[in-house]
Amino acid sequence: MLWSFLQRFFRDGLFTDTDSQFSARFAGDSMQVISGSFGNVPGFEEVRVLGVEYINNAQSLEFVVYSGDINNQSSLEEREALANPHYNSNSKGYFKPPVSRQAQESMWDCAIDGGETFQASVFSSPSWAIGSYGEDRSNWHASPSLRIGCLVPRGLIQNTLTKDSTTGVMSVSLTARNTPVSVRASVEFRNTTSTEKHDANVIGACTQPLYNASYLENKYPGGVHQWISYHLDLGIDFFNLYDLDGSFAPYLKEFGDRVRYFPNWARSISPAVDTLVSQGKCMYCSEFLAYDHCLYQIKSQDVDWFFTLHAPDAYIRVPANDSLKQLVARQHPSVLNLIFKSIAFYSCDGSANNNADTLPAQFVCRDEELGDATNLGEPLARVKHALYNDRHAAKPRHPGRYKTLGLDPAKWRMHHYRDTFEQRHQQCSSDSGSCPVQVRDTSIADLITPTTSSITPTPEATMR
């Protein structure tokens, strides 16, 4: 009996009620970003609510909130200029604005259906990948967003359910105490214990905000189709694909609901970011907010694992006679992250393969030495226990309880075709010392069937 209790505690938490489990999402258009503008309130100039989750064992309705000054174009440009030299990023905008200190330190209150107001629980998670632009890397540990939890007893949710339905809706408002800052969300709850169990080990994928699909299609005709189809065939069930300019829309129609499309993402975050993007700046300023949004979209559905498959220059390599579904099925419940090491691929001897008819066939050389497994790479993460998506690894809700496994790169890895969009690989010169041994690796290129798109890309498209 004790062993059974301990197993349930570490699996589900102490107070899980298996007779009453609920999931939550925004009512109506569940893909929405709830916005609030409070331009005269420092640290709360723009508030964005990106997602929601019901934590059954804590009976807490948890919101994902970004707050800060992201509509000040000159300020964003100044911070981006300071960030870029640390990344050697060709000024592509790797600055990721963290949530404001005022929002993190404020007391927040909740009110349900316009009733009594009570204090919310507020916490944030430091993010290693938030860009540092100070000499002392003073903002290296900064949170991209907050988690604000409102106590919502399961009995209260049960009262919202209609007799002939498994769903119910309630209105919840979040207010930063002693400020005029208040946002309201309509939340739909679903009783997951009364629905049919979904297929096991459903896998979703999240992309970074992409842009300029025509550039990819001009260089590698059919490149979007090949990238998505290849990974769907590997065992990914669907993509949540984000872009900044709406350019991927023509290439996604054939995939139906297996690609959930979020166009013009920067426009959902702020007019200033959208304006900078149209100028070829701040291209990644909204990246982490897209990861937040994607993770919580997935949490509101029957999905078990999610991949961060950042862009069409990244392909996952799976060993023969194995699959992603089999891989996740073998994992102990304590595993949160499975990390695919990133391996750089480039043109052999620096010369382009002009006869290549697919992107992976263009770059078939890599360093012979793959090195050891790593805990930072392309993560395949368990949805239930992920709190933040830090791009190269998910952060757990309960640190110490869940672990990250680096996969053997000789079997499982991510092929990163780094020169897809611009020349990034530096050929080694023997004058500077010994060079790594190059090998040809066509293990993915041999699997890709050349295709062409029926869409004619814009001829003058260039990479900004």
Give the model's pLDDT for residue 291. Answer: 94
Residues 6+ away with beta carbon under 8 Å from 332? none
End-of-domain residue from the set 164, 194, 224? 194
Same-domain check for residues 19 and 95? yes
Strands, sheet with 121-124, edge to edge from the N-terminal-most edge strand? 34-37, 46-55, 60-68, 146-151, 121-124
pLDDT for the residue numbered 65: 94
Rounded distance between C-alpha atoms, residue 383 and residue 337, angstroms = 10
Residue 123, token pair as written in the block? 């916490």
Residues 167 and 221 placed together within one structural domain of the fold? no
Residue-level pLDDT, tens digit, the chain, 464 residues: 444 434 444 444 443 334 568 999 999 877 789 998 888 898 898 899 999 999 998 999 999 999 887 766 677 777 666 665 544 444 555 566 778 888 888 999 999 998 889 899 988 776 544 443 344 444 434 678 899 999 998 888 988 887 667 889 999 999 999 999 999 999 999 888 755 555 679 999 999 999 999 999 998 999 999 999 999 999 999 999 999 999 999 999 999 999 999 999 999 888 888 888 888 888 888 898 999 999 999 998 889 999 999 999 999 999 998 999 999 999 999 999 999 999 999 988 766 666 778 999 999 999 999 999 998 899 999 999 999 988 888 988 887 889 999 999 999 999 999 888 877 777 776 666 678 888 999 999 999 877 655 455 554 444 44
288 and 339 fall within a common domain:
yes
- Domain enclosing residue 428, as ranges: 203-447
Whether residue 131 is found in the same domain as residue 53:
yes
Partners of 62 in the β-ladder: 53, 149
Q: Are residues 185 and 319 in the same domain?
A: no
459 assigned to some structural domain? no
pLDDT of 354: 60
State the residue for tokens 């916490």.
123
pTM of the model: 0.87
pLDDT at 271: 86
Structure tokens at 103: 């929002």
Domain count across the chain? 2
Does the residue 382 lie in any domain? yes
> Is the same domain home to 225 and 144?
no
| Whether residues 112 and 260 fall in one domain | no
Please tell me the predicted confidence (pLDDT) of residue 16: 39
Q: Determine, yes or no, domain membership for 25.
A: yes
Give yes or no: residues 211 and 154 share one domain. Answer: no
Q: Judge if 155 and 214 occupy the same domain.
A: no
Residues 233 and 123 in one domain: no
- Residue 83 has what pLDDT? 60
Domain final residue, candidates 165, 194, 223: 194
Q: What is the CATH number of the domain that holds 415?
A: 3.90.550
* 80 within 8 A of 93, measured Cβ to Cβ: yes
Asked, for residue 9, whether it belongs to a domain, the answer is no
- Residue 400 has a pLDDT of 83
Question: Which of 177, 194, 211 corresponds to the end of one domain?
Answer: 194
146 and 271 in a single domain? The answer is: no
Residue 4's pLDDT is what?
A: 45
At residue 89, the pLDDT reads: 47
Pairing of strands 182-191, 22-26: antiparallel
Residues 186, 70 within the same domain: yes
- Quickly list DSSP for 7-74: HHHHHH-TT--TT--EEEEESSSTT--EEEE-TTSTT-SEEEEEEEEEETTTTEEEEEEEEE--S-HH
Residue 133's pLDDT is 38
